[in-house]
């Protein structure tokens, strides 16, 4: 007999997720680019650095990551004894894909002697080839901590590399990658929206193009943008990063107005996670992300250097 499967409402899904989260002794971590309803059920929301710190120190047995592959891999590197769940394994990062391990290996060989600094938005196997890791919130601090004796190959993001280079004295050589969601924002679009909202401050992520960053009142990570708004008196803001961040910004600042710099700034991979997939993942304890021990050990060295600098 063909039994019809009842589709659960969002409320029912949330109730079931909470039951299964308890059963599994799981912690739910969600990046601020996740859909709003997912951010609302998470134990912790934030930027890549904050979520890595939570993954490293959680006492839960299971980490359910609402984000993309490299974030779940980072959690697995930092907490190898935990089960790390990513509700949809197709949630990757096109920027990380732009630095395939084979190409990176060849480039490092060609550029010796060189220090390799990898943005966390990279494969675990690329982190394993790196001397240091960073996120958008500590790239400048990490770069400043590195000796100036050698040049720094910064990968995969050319925009974050240029931003970091502009704030430090190091000689930084950018890889050719970029984030499609951030790189699509053009100077003309920004000038247009600034014209529509002349009172608004422009806040952008350093993954944006340099000519866009040049127009900004503030450049920072997603957490940096959230903190900036919390501490600022202005009533209107143009937000130059992935539109998921508008959810916490509006929720935390009901008297302020926010305008996306472009409605096209959507990370399709981040949006692959859904309440249905979270519930299924908690029930089945799948799909799991586990970094092979040989790669994990090497990647941990670069990640730990970053974690130490960001304490």
**Residue ranges binding ligand SF4 (CB under 6 A):** 33, 68, 93-95, 121, 179-181, 242, 267, 269-270
Determine, following the binding rule CB under 6 A, whether residue 74 of this chain makes contact with ligand 13P: no
Q: Which stretch binds ligand 13P (CB under 6 A): 130-138, 274-282, 286-294, 303-311?
A: 130-138
CA distance linking residue 276 with residue 66, whole number of Å: 12
Site string for ligand 13P, 164-203 (x = CB under 6 A): ---------------x------------------------
Fill in the DSSP letter of residue 80: T
Using CB atoms within 10 Å of the CB of residue 169, give its burial: 0 to 12 exposed, 13 to 18 middle, 19+ buried: exposed
User: 24, 28, 47, 274: which one contacts ligand 13P (CB under 6 A)?
Assistant: 47
Q: Which stretch binds ligand 13P (CB under 6 A): 76-84, 131-139, 167-175, 208-216?
A: 131-139
Name the binder of 289 from ligand 13P, ligand SF4, none, CB < 5-8 A by kind. Answer: none
Using CB atoms within 10 Å of the CB of residue 120, give its burial: 0 to 12 exposed, 13 to 18 middle, 19+ buried: buried
Taking the complex as a whole, how short is the minimal distance between the CB of residue 244 and ligand 13P, in angstroms? 10
Using CB atoms within 10 Å of the CB of residue 118, give its burial: 0 to 12 exposed, 13 to 18 middle, 19+ buried: buried
At 40, which helix (H) or strand (E)?
helix 36-41
Beta bridge pairs of residue 177: 157
Name the binder of 146 from ligand 13P, ligand SF4, none, CB < 5-8 A by kind. Answer: none
Please give the C-alpha separations between residue 69 and each of 6, 90, 273, 289, in angstroms, as whole numbers.
30, 8, 11, 8
For ligand 13P, the binding residues (CB under 6 A) are 47-48, 121, 135-137, 179, 207, 221-222
């Amino acid at each position: 007999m063909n039994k019809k499967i009842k589709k659960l409402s969002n409320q029912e899904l949330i109730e079931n997720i909470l039951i299964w989260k308890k059963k599994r002794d799981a912690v739910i971590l969600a990046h601020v680019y996740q859909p709003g309803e997912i951010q609302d059920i998470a134990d912790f929301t934030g930027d890549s650095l904050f979520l890595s710190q939570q993954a490293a120190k959680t006492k839960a047995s299971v980490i359910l990551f609402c984000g993309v592959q490299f974030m779940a891999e980072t959690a697995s590197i930092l907490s190898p004894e935990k089960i790390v769940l990513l509700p949809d394994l197709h949630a990757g990062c096109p920027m990380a894909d732009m630095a395939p391990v084979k190409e990176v290996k060849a480039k490092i060989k060609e550029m010796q002697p060189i220090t390799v600094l990898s943005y966390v938005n990279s494969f675990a196997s690329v982190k394993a080839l790196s001397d240091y890791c960073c996120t958008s919130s500590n790239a400048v601090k990490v770069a400043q901590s590195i000796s100036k004796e050698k040049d720094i190959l910064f990968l995969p993001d050319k925009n974050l590399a240029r931003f970091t280079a502009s704030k430090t004295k190091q000689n930084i050589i950018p890889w050719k990658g970029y984030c499609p969601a951030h790189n699509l924002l053009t100077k003309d679009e920004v000038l247009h929206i600034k014209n529509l909202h002349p009172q608004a401050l422009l806040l952008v992520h350093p993954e944006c193009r340099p000519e866009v960053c040049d127009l900004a009142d503030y450049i920072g990570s997603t957490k940096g943008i959230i903190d900036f708004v919390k501490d600022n008196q202005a009533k209107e803001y143009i937000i130059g990063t992935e539109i998921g961040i508008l959810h916490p910004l509006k929720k935390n600042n009901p008297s302020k107005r926010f305008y996306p710099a472009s409605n096209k700034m959507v990370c399709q991979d981040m949006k692959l996670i859904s309440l249905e997939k979270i519930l299924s993942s908690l029930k089945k304890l799948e799909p799991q992300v586990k970094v092979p021990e040989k790669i994990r050990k090497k990647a941990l060295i670069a990640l730990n250097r970053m974690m130490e600098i960001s304490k």
